[in-house]
Structure formats: structure tokens, C-alpha cells
Homo-oligomer: A and B are copies of this chain.
Amino acid sequence: MKKGKMIVTPWEVKGDLDYNKLIRNFGVHPLKKLPGIFEKNVLFRRGIVFAHRDVQRILEAVSKKEKFAMMTGLMPSGKFHFGHMLVAEQIILYQKLGAKVYVAVADVESYNSRGQSLEDSRKIAKEEYIKNYIALGLKPKNCEIYFQSDRSKDGEKAGAYYRLQNLLARHATFNEFKGVYGDMSPGKMVSSLLQASDMLHSQMKEFGGSDKGIPVVVPVGIDQDPHLRIARDLGRRIKTQEFIPLSSTYHKFIPGLSGGKMSSSEENSYIALTDKPEEVKKKINKYAFSGGRKTLDEHKKHGGNPDVDVSYQYLNAFFEPNDKKLNEIYKDYKSGKMTTGELKKYTIEKINAFLKKHQARMKKITEKEISKYVK
């Protein structure tokens, strides 16, 4: 792929990512400074959540303490890693802000786009994703995690969810799917319609919404915006009830160890939240892309580049919440005062301190606890 080129679709992310260009291409809006309640969170404060559609509706619901929902999805695949943690932290933040939380396990999409069995999806979702969500602080109250293939044991709810998917189809065209997604197949199209129902259905009465809808925020990676566009457009066109246009926020990608995309299918591209201290040490030391110079002398003389350094990115997004300390690291690494070895050592310590506590919490989570979240 040529330098300066990028591909960003729900199924493929590669090339040199230019987030300003993505904002323009997708027609989303840069996220300006938010109220303190959001800015306390590093992901918002440090611009990792960087763009949005209609977020003001959610800010208003939060400030007026009005009913709103948060919806996002998980694609059950491989181990739970830092990329997944980024989404989990936002889910937990919205839950604290008063949102009713919905998480769709995209097992239908997983079957339709990758042929993964529903059984495998269920197992991975529970043992990897949901268990980690709980350890990270997700509470069972006001939280519903469900499988696309099996929306509810309550026939009224199941009916309403799949009915919405089926009726939304009338309001779509093939050209629109091709325009928004590029590549299409019947399986992907049906998944897109089901995702539109995922995002919209919490506005319906059957799910505690209303005839006039309720505000819903969907926090996702910028690559998922095509799903939002389809859901927003179809929600506006269908007349069975009113839907309030979906709000969404977009986060940047947390880089994989080598600087490219973090991929569940490449073990050395990520740190899993179940990795042992020695694994973390080895992965950071051996694989983490460094912004340092070729030799220690050169580094001391010319300084490193924290902006491309993967260890620094991890501190920035997760493991160094203290802005002053992070800023010092940035300056020291850039000036050459801090070496790559020192930066990596510091990052390893921070990650392992976090994982030690996290894994201790994980151990205590029982099947019964998980069942409180999965309806």
C-alpha cells in the first residue's frame, strides 16, 4: 500500500491513518471540549475519543438527568485485549452517567461474515469479553448484554427486535448499501440491517423506550461509522414509530504492538488482559514498536519520537492517568533524557500492576455472576 493511503471499512483497516481526513471523508464532526464529567476520563481528555455525530443530545440528557441509552457491539473473536478495553471503558463511563447499557454480541455478523459458529461466539463472548467487562467495573444494573441470534426469552421483545430489522429493509436500496460499504453480500446486508435494529431498538416501548424514541449514543471505532450511517438513515425513514437520530462517538485505533492494527488472530500484535507478567515483559521488549533511535548515543543526542512509540500510546490511553507525569515522559523521551529501555520498563511495570489487580478480580467472577448480565 502506498504511503499516505488508507483503507478504513468495518472489515478492513490499513494504511497510514489520517484522522482529520477520516472526519472529512465520513462527514463526522471533531469532538470539542466536553463537560468536566467527560473530561475526567483520559479517553475524552486526551482526544482518543475524537469525533462524533449529534453528541450534544447526549450531553443534554446527562445534564438534565433524562433517560438515555448507550448501545455498542462486540465481535466475539480471540482474546480480550487493549483494543477491547477501550470500548469497555466507554461503556462503563456511560453506565456511570446514567445510561441504560445495551451490548450486542454480533454472533449473526460473525457467522455471516466469517462463518464462526454461534456456539463458539457464545463461549468467547462470556469467557473473554463479559468476564473482562465485569472485572473492569461494569455493573449488572441497567445493563443488558444479548446475542443477536437470540435476542430475548420474552417473545414480545424478540418479536419487536427482529420485526424492526425486517421492516427497515423496505426503506433501504442496494445502491445505498454499495455506496456506504463498498463490498456487499446478502449476509453482510442482513447483518447491517440487524445492526440498525441493534442501535435503534432500545428506543421502542418494548425495551423501555417510547413512541417518540429516546436518545441513544453508540461509541465505536471510526471504522464502524458506515453501520451508523445506514441505521440513522433508515431510522429516519421508517414510520412505524418515531426514532430520535442516533448519536455516536468515534475513537482512534489503539495500535498493535508493531504499530499496525491490533488483531485477535495475531497473538504478537496485542497484549491480552489475561497475559502473565513475563509475557507482557517479553511482548513489550521484543515487539513493541519504538520511537527511539538506532543507538543509545544517537537517542541521547537527538531524542526519540513518543508520537509513534507504542509503549507511550499505551500509557497515554490507559496506564498513566496522571497528566503531569505523562507530560514529563513525553518531554524526557523526546529530548533523549529517557531511553527506550526506560520507557519500556516503566510501561511494563504499569501494565503489570494493572493486570495483577485485574486478574485477581477476574478469578472471582463466577458463571452465576456472568448470567446476571446476559439476558
Given contacts A155-B157, A156-B153, contact A187 B163 (CB under 8 A): no
Q: Are B187 and A170 in contact (CB under 8 A)?
A: yes
A interface size (C-beta, 8 A): 39
Nearest CB in chain B: distance from A242 CB, A: 16
Nearest CB in chain B: distance from A155 CB, A: 4
Nearest CB in chain B: distance from A154 CB, A: 5
Q: Residues 142-169 of chain A: 1 if any B CB is under 8 Å from the residue's CB, otherwise 0? A: 0000001111111111110011011101
Chain B residues within 8 Å of A240, by CB: 118
Given contacts A153-B155, A155-B155, A158-B155, contact A186 B172 (CB under 8 A): yes
Among B163, B169, B171, B191, the residue within 8 A (CB) of A189 is B169
Chain B residues within 8 Å of A158, by CB: 152, 155, 158-159, 162
Chain B residues within 8 Å of A166, by CB: 108, 112, 148-149, 190-191, 194
Complex copy number for this chain: 2
Q: Are A186 and B185 in contact (CB under 8 A)?
A: no
Q: Are B193 and A190 in contact (CB under 8 A)?
A: yes
Chain B, Cβ-Cβ closest to A177: B186
Among B151, B152, B170, B187, the residue within 8 A (CB) of A172 is B187
Among B112, B163, B171, the residue within 8 A (CB) of A149 is B163
Nearest CB in chain B: distance from A323 CB, A: 46
Interface centre among A155, A171, A173, A184 (most CB of B within 10 A): A155
Interface centre among A162, A167, A173 (most CB of B within 10 A): A162
A123-157 contacts to B (CB < 8 Å): 148-157
A111 beta carbon closer than 8 Å to chain B: yes
A35 beta carbon closer than 8 Å to chain B: no
A174 beta carbon closer than 8 Å to chain B: yes
A115 beta carbon closer than 8 Å to chain B: yes
Chain B, Cβ-Cβ closest to A194: B166
Nearest CB in chain B: distance from A231 CB, A: 14
Q: Are B163 and A112 in contact (CB under 8 A)?
A: no
Chain B residues within 8 Å of A193, by CB: 186, 190
17 CB-based A-B contacts, threshold 8 Å:
A108-B167, A149-B163, A149-B166, A150-B163, A151-B155, A151-B159, A151-B162, A153-B156, A166-B194, A169-B186, A170-B186, A170-B187, A173-B186, A177-B186, A186-B189, A189-B189, A190-B190
